[in-house]
């Protein structure tokens, strides 16, 4: 036996994963999906040119609490899926890409851009895999139903996604949510919805014994957050020199280089985030793209560094409001970071948030806007 299930069972047998009935059931369903994708008829480029369609394979919506192993299962699924036209992408990055493609199509003034954009995506993708499907704004909510109807029903793209929320809770209490309800109906009609529930938060379990705020600055603090990164991403520490980086789209043609970026975990220096001119939109893009952010080199700030302190306040607000997990190396405890200067009184709210972000209750929350 090869594929998803064989890889999962090998990891359990080797002691790298704990035996978990919920994960096993999800692995079995993902293996079935792999088998269907392999055996389903996929026409070649010439056949597609003459209108021959590939067979539609029903997708999967896997949801459950934070730390249950959804991303790990998705990694195994995509890595072991033996087809060429597959793609794994974070949902937020995908929607940013869709915004650009829609803008390009509108410039052509050729009518509704949804169909052409869906066809363009489907040219290179037969199975589209998302991690952390979450809807945070009205613009995305308005286009998702039509876009995914085109992808699934017209282009026969198989969608596989994870989420911290069951479909009916997506964009809950969001502005103009009625425009989003057809998308929920589409998920429930076209995808199998599989819960991955249980009492074990494996992400927190991996971090046992490691705090979130490490002071003073120095090798010991650096080693602690380095360990956090490798535990959360499963990246081999011996290959630390080759950790992937990324360029995060900030909109308006601007990008932010992320020195270390893997599986929803990002590493930044304080200087990169707060020592350069940045606004709330930049920090929001980070908070939406990553479930965990590691910030190194946070200094004590005096009155002459009030601009950096103000940016740090905005950064923490964005992370806090999106339930992003923060790990940091700092020169001092939160209450000693900015004791005097313009805005030091307001900084006390940031201190309160930083302390709350270290709590077990905060760490157990799923990623996404409150």
At residue 45, the pLDDT reads: 54
Which comes out higher in pLDDT, residue 90 or 188? 188
CATH of domain 4-195: 3.40.50.300
At residue 82, the pLDDT reads: 92
What mean pLDDT, rounded, does the chain reach? Answer: 87
At residue 216, the pLDDT reads: 96
At residue 115, the pLDDT reads: 93
At residue 237, the pLDDT reads: 86
At residue 208, the pLDDT reads: 67
CATH of domain 202-363: 3.40.50
Percent of the chain with pLDDT over 70: 91
At residue 276, the pLDDT reads: 92
Owner of token pair 């480029």: 45
Residues 265 and 233: beta-carbon distance below 8 Å: yes
Q: Worst-scoring range by mean pLDDT, 108-122, 195-209, 225-239, 272-286?
A: 195-209
Q: Kindly report, residue by residue over 30-83, the tens digit of the pLDDT.
A: 999 999 999 886 655 555 555 556 678 999 999 987 677 888 889 899 999 999
Fold identical between 4-195 and 202-363?
Answer: yes
At residue 68, the pLDDT reads: 78
Q: Kindly report, residue by residue over 307-361, the tens digit of the pLDDT.
A: 999 999 999 999 998 889 999 999 999 999 998 888 888 899 999 999 999 988 8
* Euclidean distance between CA atoms 369 and 135, whole angstroms: 9
At residue 54, the pLDDT reads: 65
Percent of the chain with pLDDT over 90: 50
Dihedral, CA atoms, 287, 231, 274, 350, nearest 10 degrees?
70
Mean pLDDT of 1-7: 82
pLDDT at residue 218 tops 80? yes
Residue 366 Cα distances to 56, 79, 96, 322, 369, angstroms: 32, 25, 22, 9, 9
Residue from 23, 198, 131 nearest 11 by CA: 23
* Euclidean distance between CA atoms 72 and 26, whole angstroms: 11
Q: Worst-scoring range by mean pLDDT, 12-21, 110-119, 319-328?
A: 12-21
At residue 91, the pLDDT reads: 81
Tokens of 195: 């819960």
At residue 58, the pLDDT reads: 94
Q: Where are the domains of the chain?
A: 4-195, 202-363
* Euclidean distance between CA atoms 370 and 350, whole angstroms: 17
């Amino acid at each position: 036996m090869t594929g998803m299930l064989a890889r999962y069972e090998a990891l359990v047998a080797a002691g790298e994963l704990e035996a978990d009935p919920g994960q096993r059931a999800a692995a079995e369903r993902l293996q079935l999906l792999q088998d269907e994708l392999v055996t389903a008829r996929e026409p070649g480029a010439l056949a597609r040119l003459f209108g021959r369609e590939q067979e539609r394979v029903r997708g999967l919506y896997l949801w459950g609490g934070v730390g249950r192993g959804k991303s790990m299962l998705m990694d195994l699924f995509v890595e072991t899926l033996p087809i060429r036209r597959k793609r794994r992408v974070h949902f937020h990055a995908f929607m940013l890409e869709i915004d650009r493609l829609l803008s390009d199509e509108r410039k052509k003034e050729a009518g509704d851009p949804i169909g052409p954009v869906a066809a363009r995506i489907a040219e290179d993708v037969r199975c589209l895999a998302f991690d952390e499907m979450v809807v945070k704004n009205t613009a995305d909510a308005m286009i998702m139903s039509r876009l995914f109807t085109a992808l699934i029903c017209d282009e026969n793209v198989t969608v596989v996604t994870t989420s911290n929320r069951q479909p009916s809770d997506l964009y809950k209490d969001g502005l103009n949510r009625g425009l989003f309800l057809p998308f929920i109906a589409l998920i429930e009609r076209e995808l199998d919805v599989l819960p991955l529930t249980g009492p074990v938060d494996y992400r927190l379990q991996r971090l046992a014994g490691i705090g979130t705020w490490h002071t003073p600055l120095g090798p010991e603090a650096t080693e602690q957050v380095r360990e956090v990164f490798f535990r959360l991403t499963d990246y081999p520490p011996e290959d630390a020199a080759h950790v992937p980086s990324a360029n995060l789209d900030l909109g308006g043609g601007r990008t932010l280089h992320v020195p270390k970026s893997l599986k929803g975990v990002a590493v930044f220096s304080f200087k990169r985030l707060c020592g350069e001119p940045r606004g709330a939109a930049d920090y929001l893009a980070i908070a939406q793209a990553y479930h965990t952010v590691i910030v190194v080199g946070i200094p004590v700030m005096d009155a002459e560094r009030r601009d950096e302190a103000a940016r740090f306040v905005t950064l923490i607000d964005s992370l806090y409001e999106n339930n992003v997990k923060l790990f940091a190396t700092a020169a001092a405890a939160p209450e000693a970071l900015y004791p005097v200067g313009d805005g030091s009184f307001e900084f006390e709210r940031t201190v309160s948030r930083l302390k709350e972000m270290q709590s077990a209750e905060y760490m157990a929350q799923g990623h996404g806007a409150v």
